[in-house]
Chains A and B, each alone.
Chain A
Amino acid sequence: MNVFAALFRMEWRLFRRDLFLWLAQIFLLLYYTGAGWYYYRYPDGTFDAGGMFKLMSYWLSMGVVMIGLLAGVLSARREHVAHFDEIMSSLPGDALRPFAKLLAWATVVLIFFLSASVATLGLQWLENSSLLRYWSDTVSYLAVFWVLPQLSAGILGYVLGMLVTSNWIYPLILLVWLTLTPYNGWLEWFRLPHALTLWLNQGEIVYPVYISYEGLAVNAVDFWRHIFLLLLSLSLLAVSLLIRRLRDRTWKERIGLITYAVLFFVGMLALVVKVNPYPEGENVALLGGVDMRYYETMQQRSPLGSSYARLPSFSVQQVVLDVEHQGYRMTYTAELGIQTRGDVDWLEFTLYHGYTVQEAKIGEQSLPWEQEGDLLRIKWPGEKKEGSIVLRVEGSPGSGGVLKPQAIYLPSGFPWYPVPGKWRVAESIYTQPAFGYQIPSLFLNLELEEPTYFNISVSSPLKIYSNLSETGANAFRGTASGPTLLAGKLVEARVNGFRIVAPPDQINRVPAVLAPLQESIKRAGGRLGTSTYPIPSNIFVTPLYSAQGGLNFPFRVYHDELHLDEGIFRIYYGREGDYLAQSRDILPAFYWYNRYRESDGYAPFFLAAVYEQIYDKTSLSSYVDQPMPTTYQKAVQEILLLEREGKRDEAKEKLSAWYKSLTKAATGGLEQ
């Protein structure tokens, strides 16, 4: 023990006195805090601590890996450079030295970790950031994304420095470094599996946009991904020690070393087999793409406008949901109080195809059921007029919501629970968007026509919020046209009669956007000649952008809820009110998708574009003479022509008439 302590003390002393090693780390922290502070303070003086932290961390975790690799090389070559290696190998404790070096390196890493934590939290404290209240998240993020990679990189560098004695170790280090960063995609050129690049990547897997909604949650997968490299480097260390030293070892030591190497390799392999480095639930792009292709196929089978939808032949009196949140999946039992109208053979529900029904019962009697895509059909015992069906359901919301260990977003207009009736869940439109406008929302609004009584309890480690009134811990009850469940880094506030649920650093910004929004809604309604809407009383800041396939408006409107995308508060800091009040956002959200419409999704875009041309003076004139990809060409060109000829009043009237005819015809024949 004495020997080990002496070895450690010397190795630590040598690290401690390496001025340039510390200089490099200090530089890194200075850049991090200095540039972060300088560029992430917004014009209004507020500081985007989360955005700064995550973006800077993306790069800086690469920096710590580089420092680790080079410090490892330094440590491996130290004796040789000092011509001290011969003496050291003639002294007792030679075999222990690598471990003393490891511990000394761990100490360096620990100090860097503490300094980085102090720098990060200190900056947040100085800037009075609300992220400080989640300081433990920040610290664990640092531990996983900075400390573990730096530790592993130090070990890897040591191994490389031991095995490669010439100076071309430095280009090699550069390659190894690239392999450990998010830029390791080049590995796949050599036909190495994608999963390997994910495992080796020590930075963020996706481009790190800080999502205030989820906060800095470090999930188990991130942890394992970084542990993987630690195991890998430890096993490589053991192997390289074996290669170099096996001959000079006693049997006991040899067996020890072999066991040690095998153990780490087995641990690593077990990890690879057991853990998916990039769970589907995190991969927004994948989920969105899968859904888009799915609904495209669905649309080929029953084209838009072919009256796919069918009203239910029964009514649901009440819905009791008992939800269990299990990481990226959920299970629930749904008890549906059914009352039939007339003769009913099968009950038709819409349930997103990511959910599977595992059991259907009425009382003790099992019911046959069928699930085909988003359509769920349950055989109704003909003799009954009413009864309670109990369904056991398991699944995840795909790109229609968010379900992660650290966050939940299940909007009320999305069929994550069985919605009575046969409805189209989403439309898939991804040809050229009209006039360069955004592609419309994928998911249609499936709120219930008639408000229904819901009673929901959720078992989850997260604190859940809902549009229903809270009756206990994560228990909600009330009559609504659908249930929304939210969880994440959220807080709740009541301002001017509105109930706002939002991430802590955004909650104060929400009230400011409401006035311009309300004004814009009112103005648009008047101009379109239709009834106007008040802003719903529940305002939720949600991850709309990452929830619904990345194809969305900055908000969604439900009967008693307004969902605002959290991203706009980051991107349009200080100007989010102006951004939201734009006609191109208001019109589709409030005057199109506020209810179920089974329609050609281009309509709201043409509407918004022409509206802006007439009222907001954008210029679409050049489109008058161009062919357009849809059936609206004639109407649009007529209005634009009137506008060009200076007959603005006529153009406005025509627009209003067009809107009315459009909304009448485009609702899947259910208007009557």
Chain B
Amino acid sequence: MGRRMTFPPLWLDLRTMGWNFSFPLVAHLGIVLYLYLGQGGRVGMLTEKTILGTIGLWSPLLITFWIVGLYQDWFESDGKEALLALPYKSWAFGIGRVLRTTALYGFFVWGITRLLFLFSSDRGVSQMWWTILAASILFFAALAFFTVALTRRLVFTYMLVAVFSLGEWVRVYSTSLRVGYSVPSDRTVAFNPFQAASPLPGANPLRVALILFIVSLLLLFLGQLFVNRREYLLK
């Protein structure tokens, strides 16, 4: 009698990601080098604003590669039929793996951020910032999961996530540019996936984090609905 698999081993997950696994790591190395060499880290003059702005923008975005990597074999390989026939638990293979990977990634980003603060005279990332960063990372993980399950194609996933991120960035950016003299606070929509990098003036950060969290759960759930339908995945 075959044992019903709950989780595939973590190392197997990471190995099958291939380059998608290494890229965010390499990119973070690039970020560290950039902040260390280019933004004053070498002389201990790195500002908190720069660290938070850079990590807050790129780290959430880069998790897309890991999540897509998790599912690439499931949607874009000749062996996907065999994979889909495995005795896995849908929820574990969907949301479960996403959450596990996200947690690992979050831990990694936490380490990188602590490391960067070694080069700075600024101390003090607030609990709120960590909460918001975690919510942002979870949000992009959920978004990538949802999109890859919906489109079943890597290229479309990247395209949609890129367009969405750029659009949101423009929206958030133009708000922060206008606020102060032109945009009344009722013009601020408290949804902001980049709150960690570019906070929305006039929006309560806790509220932003909460909204991100709720939207993430929604996206995870919707993505899971697609994953549950093996027929759809096989199409």
Contacts and interface: CB of A to CB of B under 8 A. Distances in A.
Given A39-B174, A168-B18, A60 B166 contact: yes
B18 A167 contact: yes
Interface stretch (A16-24, A115-123, A234-242, A308-316): A16-24
Interface string B55-87: 000000000010010001000100000000000
B20 interface: yes
Contacts of B167: 27-28, 30-32, 35, 63
A63 B163 contact: yes
Contacts of B169: 59
A39 B171 CA distance: 8
Interface stretch (B107-115, B131-139, B150-158): B150-158
A170 interface: yes
Contact of B166 (A66, A73, A170, A186): A66
Nearest to B184: A43
A35 to B, nearest CB: 4
A20 B159 contact: yes
A27 B164 contact: yes
Contacts of B155: 70, 73-74, 77, 170
Given A39-B171, A39-B178, A168 B160 contact: no
Contacts of A28: 163, 166-167
Of A21, A55, A171, A575, the most chain B CB neighbours within 10 A belong to: A171
Given A39-B178, A167-B154, A59 B19 contact: no
Contact of A66 (B38, B163, B171, B177): B163
Interface residues of B, number: 40
A60 B18 contact: no
A60 B168 CA distance: 11
A496 B121 CA distance: 58
Q: Is the interface of A mostly helix, strand, loop or mixed?
A: helix
B153 A55 contact: no
Contacts of B154: 167, 170
B181 interface: yes
Given A20-B153, A63-B166, A67-B159, A42 B171 contact: no
A328 B234 CA distance: 61
In this complex, which of A36, A39, A70, A71 has the most chain B Cβ atoms within 10 angstroms of its Cβ? Answer: A39
B19 A573 contact: no
Interface in B164-193: 164, 166-171, 173-175, 177-178, 181-184, 187
Contacts of A572: 181
B162 interface: yes
Instruction: Point out which of B154, B159, B162 has the most chain A C-beta atoms below 10 A from its C-beta.
Output: B159
Contacts of A60: 166, 170
B24 to A, nearest CB: 9
Contacts of B183: 39
A40 interface: yes
Contacts of A32: 167, 170
B31 to A, nearest CB: 11
Interface residues of A, number: 44
B232 interface: no
A40 B171 CA distance: 11
| Most chain A CB atoms below 10 A, which of B20, B155, B160, B163 | B155
A32 B171 CA distance: 9
B235 to A, nearest CB: 13
B160 A23 contact: yes
Contacts of B7: none
B187 A24 contact: no
A528 B214 CA distance: 61
A367 interface: no
A131 B166 CA distance: 25
A631 interface: no
Contacts of B181: 571-573, 575
B130 interface: no
B171 A31 contact: yes
Contacts of B76: 81
A38 interface: yes
Contact of B170 (A24, A31, A170, A186): A31
B163 A43 contact: no
Interface string A58-80: 01101100110011011001000
B170 A59 contact: yes
Contacts of A24: 156, 159-160, 163
Contacts of A63: 162-163, 166-167
Nearest to B18: A167
Contact of B160 (A27, A40, A574): A27
Given A60-B166, A66-B166, A168-B23, A20 B174 contact: no
A170 B153 contact: no
A66 B160 contact: no
A73 B158 CA distance: 12
A21 B169 CA distance: 20
A56 interface: yes
A17 to B, nearest CB: 13
B159 A21 contact: yes
A70 B170 contact: no
A621 B151 CA distance: 65
Contacts of B37: 189
Contact of A35 (B18, B68, B170): B170
Given A42-B182, A170-B158, A189 B23 contact: no
A173 interface: yes
Interface of B: 18-20, 23, 26-27, 34, 37-38, 65, 68, 72, 76, 151, 153-156, 158-160, 162-164, 166-171, 173-175, 177-178, 181-184, 187
Given A20-B160, A24-B163, A43-B182, 20 more contacts: A20-B151, A27-B163, A27-B164, A31-B166, A39-B174, A39-B178, A42-B182, A60-B166, A66-B159, A66-B166, A70-B158, A73-B155, A166-B19, A167-B19, A168-B23, A170-B23, A170-B68, A170-B155, A171-B23, A571-B181
25 contacts: A20-B153, A20-B160, A21-B159, A23-B160, A24-B156, A24-B159, A35-B167, A39-B183, A43-B184, A55-B177, A56-B170, A59-B166, A60-B170, A66-B159, A66-B162, A71-B159, A73-B155, A81-B76, A166-B19, A167-B154, A170-B20, A170-B154, A171-B19, A171-B26, A174-B23
